Amino acid sequence: MTEGDTLVLHVHNSLNVSTSIHAHGIFQINTSYMDGAAMVTQCGIPPGKSFTYEYEVNQAGTFWLHGHYHHQNADGLRTPLIVHDRKQHLYEYDGEYVFGFEDWYNQTYEARLDETQDPNGTFPPPSPAPNALINGIDGNVTKSILFKSNKTYRIRLINMSATVWFKFALPGHQMRVIEADGKYAVPLEVNGITLGPGQRFSVLVTAHEDITRNYQYLVEVFASFFPKIPGESPKYYAGVVEYSENASFVDVDSIAILEAIPEDKSFSGCADVELSSADRQPVFPVNRSIDLVLRGALFTDNITRDIINNITYTEPYIPTLYSALSLGSLAVDKDLYGIQSNAVVLKHNEYIELVVHNPNTIPHPMHLHGHAFQIIEYGPVDPRIVLGDNRESLSNQTAPIVKSSKYPMQRDTVVVPIMQYVKLRFRADNPGVWLFHCHMDIHFGMGMAMTFIEAPDVMQDTMAIPENMAQICVDQGIGIFGNGAGNTGTDLSGLPPMPTIKSF
């Protein structure tokens, strides 16, 4: 589609479970209710029913659509969403290719989550590394991309996976990064790209004049927390960059090239913190700084869950947006969304800083709905913020502090590296209810999520839920008014008791 167009998305649910569709990276200005996050901004569309999403898209860049009801993304309900510039192109190119990267498991998401949270099982369960799909097909039978002499191509890379990271390289060619997550960057030359779950990049590549040789594009699928098993993890894939049909290949050591691309964004290679935003938006001031600590914990029922600031997210009884719109002046009270919604209420146009701490041995790709945030700084986890089991290792780790350029890159999904923090800033200028969650679907399912209730007073003045949307809830006996327990006022009776943390 083209920037400024209205996207009309007819969804007919032929599954045997409910569904909803989220446009990842689209801000939904004035249309928070179209964001597609089940029980946050809408009720799930039940089996056999249809719903038509309709919203204006006033952004250009590389996005994707995916299921946002019980993590259907992980089972394949996902597809790229490309929005072309309407006005003058900031960067000129002659053609483009899209690479949608996915992971493929032999088990459903639900089966994998059940295994992970089995109170009688081992944690974590032995996780077989997935296979990669590239543009919907087996990564071993990729299609060629065609290059014409001296033409410039925009290559859009989208990590739509549930769990894994992808690397991409185009040996023999120079790649310039011009976009991350729907925001243009000042061009940066790189040898390769690493994408965490949910992330996107665009690179510009100019073809050689000589068309007598063909090349390869290289893809690696990996996760730093998967044990390295030759042939299993990481897995390597390659496709043809074709200049002419029967030309000979330029030989390269593909594994060495992929291995040289850093896994960790905060050091070198294409580090988002090293990119500069093309819109030259300076560093935002801070009205309010919020520390968020990501962790896993064992609960007293012997189930392992994920937490942000000691709360594991579970869905409320009515969509959180519907609470914000119907609670009147009480809507500023975060507790009324239910403790398990892990809500934070933001004031209209406040400048917010999130300091996201990851004192774990797994990186977390954190995604914010409704906004892009500036990437301000990476650094080592602060032991004063994070105490407990990892204290020993905290004193040993040495990640440097890396600060953004004068014009920080903005994106909507950031990988918080192992034993590090990342500082993010955004302006609360988009009234609505926005999820902030880990984009590894298993972690999301385990509760690593929270909700920002942004300017409920403004929402109440400017926003109304379309009648056919509210009807989806009503038809299923789900309330559309009141607090997170579905009651009026401050009565939260009926919410299930919060599980208790046993140990970290």
Q: Which is nearer to Cu ion, 225 or 249 (CB)?
A: 225
For the CB of residue 122, give the shortest distance to Cu ion in the complex, in Å. Answer: 19
By DSSP bridging, strand 213-222 and strand 248-249 are: parallel
Q: Which is nearer to Cu ion, 271 or 449 (CB)?
A: 449
Site mask for Cu ion (CB under 5 A), range 94-133, x = bound: ----------------------------------------
Reading the block at residue 324, the tokens are 């914000």
Q: Which region, judged by CB under 5 A, interacts with Cu ion, from 57-65, 86-94, 114-122, 363-371?
A: 363-371
Rg, Å, the chain Cα set: 22
For the CB of residue 124, give the shortest distance to Cu ion in the complex, in Å. Answer: 12
State the Cα–Cα distance between residues 360 and 357, nearest whole angstrom.
9
Q: Which is nearer to Cu ion, 292 or 438 (CB)?
A: 438
Residue 259: C-alpha distances to residues 160, 240, 262, 384, 444 (Å): 22, 20, 7, 35, 29
Closest CA to 99 of 249, 259, 219: 219
Please confirm whether the linkage preceding 230 is cis (ω < 30° from 0). no
When asked if residue 307 is in the footprint of Cu ion (CB under 5 A), the reply is no
Closest CA to 196 of 169, 234, 222, 228: 222
When asked if residue 440 is in the footprint of Cu ion (CB under 5 A), the reply is yes
DSSP conformational letter for 311: B
When asked if residue 305 is in the footprint of Cu ion (CB under 5 A), the reply is no
When asked if residue 356 is in the footprint of Cu ion (CB under 5 A), the reply is no
CB 231 within 8 Å of CB 165: no
Q: Which region, judged by CB under 5 A, interacts with Cu ion, from 99-107, 194-202, 309-317, 441-449?
A: 441-449
Which 444-473 residues touch Cu ion, going by CB under 5 A? none
CB 166 within 8 Å of CB 109: no
Return the SS3 of 299.
strand
Closest CA to 64 of 246, 235, 199: 199
Site mask for Cu ion (CB under 5 A), range 383-412, x = bound: ------------------------------
Q: Which region, judged by CB under 5 A, interacts with Cu ion, from 228-236, 312-320, 400-408, 442-450?
A: 442-450
Question: In the set 71, 78, 437, 443, which binds Cu ion (CB under 5 A)?
Answer: 443
Reading the block at residue 167, the tokens are 């690397």
Residue 272: C-alpha distances to residues 205, 267, 332, 407, 426 (Å): 19, 10, 34, 12, 16
Q: Which region, judged by CB under 5 A, interacts with Cu ion, from 248-256, 361-369, 377-385, 388-396?
A: 361-369
For the CB of residue 102, give the shortest distance to Cu ion in the complex, in Å. Answer: 18
When asked if residue 364 is in the footprint of Cu ion (CB under 5 A), the reply is yes
When asked if residue 297 is in the footprint of Cu ion (CB under 5 A), the reply is no
Q: Which is nearer to Cu ion, 68 or 364 (CB)?
A: 364
Strands (E), 76-197: 78-83, 95-104, 131-134, 137-138, 145-146, 152-159, 165-169, 175-180, 183-190, 193-195
Site mask for Cu ion (CB under 5 A), range 15-54, x = bound: ----------------------------------------
Q: Which is nearer to Cu ion, 295 or 423 (CB)?
A: 295
For the CB of residue 306, give the shortest distance to Cu ion in the complex, in Å. Answer: 7
Reading the block at residue 404, the tokens are 């953004």
How many residues line the site for Cu ion (CB under 5 A)?
A: 4
Question: In the set 23, 185, 321, 438, which binds Cu ion (CB under 5 A)?
Answer: 438
Q: Which region, judged by CB under 5 A, interacts with Cu ion, from 176-184, 267-275, 435-443, 463-471?
A: 435-443
CB 25 within 8 Å of CB 83: no
For the CB of residue 415, give the shortest distance to Cu ion in the complex, in Å. Answer: 9
Site of interaction with Cu ion (CB under 5 A): 364, 438, 440, 443
